[in-house]
Amino acid sequence: MRSMTSAEVRASIVNLDPVQKRVHLPVGFDEVRWPRIDYLGWRDLRAPLRVYLVADVEGEALGVMLRQNPNQAAHSSRAVMCDLCRFARRFNEVSLFTAPRPSRDKRQRLSTLGLHVCTDLDCSVNVHSNPIVGPLDPPAEETIERRRQGLRERTAAFLKSASHPEREARRRQ
């Protein structure tokens, strides 16, 4: 991922209400190793259920604000797959995050888009983990690069779909 400035990251988040315009960047933003990550994801320390996700999409910074929904204890024996990195993890390590779609109409602000993401936003760490390679498998470096490419593509697709206002509902005639 290319290097971004703090102003660029703040301006990239498209689904904020005027009340929420203040974006608190992650602690250590200046020390981010940009080539190593595939997206920038962090929690707002003042509102722990608020998460920001920013990525480089077609040469421009694009980001959304997400809200974490609480995990249900009824699913404690299940494994859940992260929609971005495609790693299966324990139920408490993956959470449902929802992104309100940007809209000027207050009635349509209830429209959201959600996905399951690693709770600690460590998808980049997961895709960089060394795979167990068998005799017929491709080299580990090739597998890691394919994982990174898939993570980038899925993140970009989600950010694009979450950043566009929902199309107007079709009316019956």
Taking only the tens place, the pLDDT of each residue in 133-172 is: 888 889 999 999 999 999 999 999 999 988 876 554 444 4
| 103 pLDDT more than 50 | yes
Please give the residue that has the higher pLDDT: either 108 or 142.
Answer: 142
- Nearest partner of 8 among 40, 46, 45, 35, judged by Cα: 40
CB distance 95 to 119 below 8 Å: yes
Mean pLDDT score of the chain: 85
Tell me the mean pLDDT in the region 23-38.
90
pLDDT over 80 (residue 43): yes
Question: pLDDT tens across 112-124, in order?
Answer: 888 999 999 999 9
In this structure, the number of other CB atoms found within 10 A of the CB of residue 94 comes to: 23
Residues whose CB falls within 8 Å of the CB of residue 124, separated by 6 or more in sequence, listed in order: 36, 37, 38, 39, 85, 151
Q: Which residue has the higher pLDDT, 76 or 132?
A: 132
pLDDT at 171: 40
At 79, list the tokens.
């494994």
| pTM given for the model | 0.84
Give CA torsion, residues 117, 161, 127, 11, to 10 deg: -90
pLDDT, mean of residues 21-27:
85
Give residue 36's Cα distance to chain centre: 16
